[in-house]
């Protein structure tokens, strides 16, 4: 078993155990307050579901991050399967992002992201047009203002450059799928700006990129027994 797999497994087990304990406490407390067995299960289910649909920032799911392996596809498949097995029988949605170390620009530092979450389904276009190819990128609007970039600006990434074709903000910054990521919600994490959403090949060409998974339980499938 590889180092990253052992790391992910240890953290997955620990995090899942904590989550189950917390949900059990919430469900038990709700049942006691309900005062009757007739509606305790219903209230416990609704409370457990509400814990995920209306979380404090960062509490809606689990996040894992490690260095991207040479075979990133296999690495992704293994972790997704581990998450599915660990949460079973509760269904879980897993989102994958590959991201870079901060890239230095004239106006500061920017982090590159690539993943299925960073699409018009979840992002609102503020300016420009969505990228039409690997030579174009989409930048979080607050990060763009901080870096002095606009739609049409060129950003050097390693030995190539990408054109910022779009500026965006999250349609719902508080949505569970973001887990309170400050880059997505505010355009900065205090030291770097972003994310600059680019083609995955561009992130993979940077030095020692990361791969990150966000796992969200599908709340409709949660029952008191789970």
Within-domain flag for 76? yes
Do 180 and 151 sit in the same domain of this protein? yes
- Could you tell me the residue range of the domain that residue 46 belongs to? 3-95+213-221
Within-domain flag for 78? yes
Q: Measuring CA to CA, which residue among 183, 203, 186 is closest to residue 137?
A: 203
Note the pLDDT tens digit of each residue in 2-13: 444 444 444 444
Q: Average pLDDT in the 19-24 region?
A: 44
Q: Is the pLDDT of residue 167 over 50?
A: yes
Q: Please tell me the total count of domains within the chain.
A: 2
Q: Is the pLDDT of residue 132 over 80?
A: yes
Q: Average pLDDT in the 167-171 region?
A: 99
Do 195 and 105 sit in the same domain of this protein? yes
Do 136 and 48 sit in the same domain of this protein? no
| pLDDT class of 88 with cuts at 50, 70, 90 | confident
Residue where the block lists tokens 């020692």: 208
pTM score, whole prediction: 0.74
Provide the pLDDT for residue 87: 85
3-state secondary structure of 212: strand
Do 91 and 118 sit in the same domain of this protein? no
Do 89 and 109 sit in the same domain of this protein? no
What whole-number distance in Å separates Cα of residue 25 and Cα of residue 38?
Answer: 19
Check: CB of residue 144 under 8 Å from CB of residue 110: no
Within-domain flag for 226? no
Note the pLDDT tens digit of each residue in 137-150: 999 999 999 999 99
Do 27 and 46 sit in the same domain of this protein? yes
Note the pLDDT tens digit of each residue in 109-125: 999 999 999 999 999 99
């Amino acid at each position: 078993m590889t180092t990253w797999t052992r790391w992910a497994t240890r953290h997955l087990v620990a995090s899942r155990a904590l989550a189950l304990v917390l949900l059990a406490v919430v469900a038990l407390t709700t049942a006691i307050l309900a005062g009757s067995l007739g509606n305790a299960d219903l209230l416990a289910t609704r409370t457990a579901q509400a814990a995920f649909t209306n979380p404090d920032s960062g509490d809606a799911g689990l996040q894992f991050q490690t260095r991207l392996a040479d075979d990133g596809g296999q690495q992704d498949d293994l972790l997704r399967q581990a998450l599915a097995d660990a949460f079973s029988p509760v269904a879980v949605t897993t989102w994958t992002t590959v991201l870079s170390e901060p890239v230095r620009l004239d106006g500061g530092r920017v982090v590159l992201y690539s993943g299925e979450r960073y699409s018009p389904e979840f992002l609102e276009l503020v300016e420009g047009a969505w990228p039409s190819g690997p030579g174009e990128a989409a930048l979080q609007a607050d990060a763009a203002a901080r870096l002095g970039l606009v739609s049409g600006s060129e950003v050097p990434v390693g030995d190539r450059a990408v054109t910022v074709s779009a500026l965006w903000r999250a349609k719902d910054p508080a949505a569970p799928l973001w887990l309170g990521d400050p880059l997505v919600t505010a355009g900065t994490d205090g030291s770097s700006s972003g994310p600059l959403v680019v083609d995955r090949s561009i992130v993979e060409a940077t030095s020692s990129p990361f791969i990150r998974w966000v796992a969200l339980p599908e709340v409709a499938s949660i029952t008191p027994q789970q």
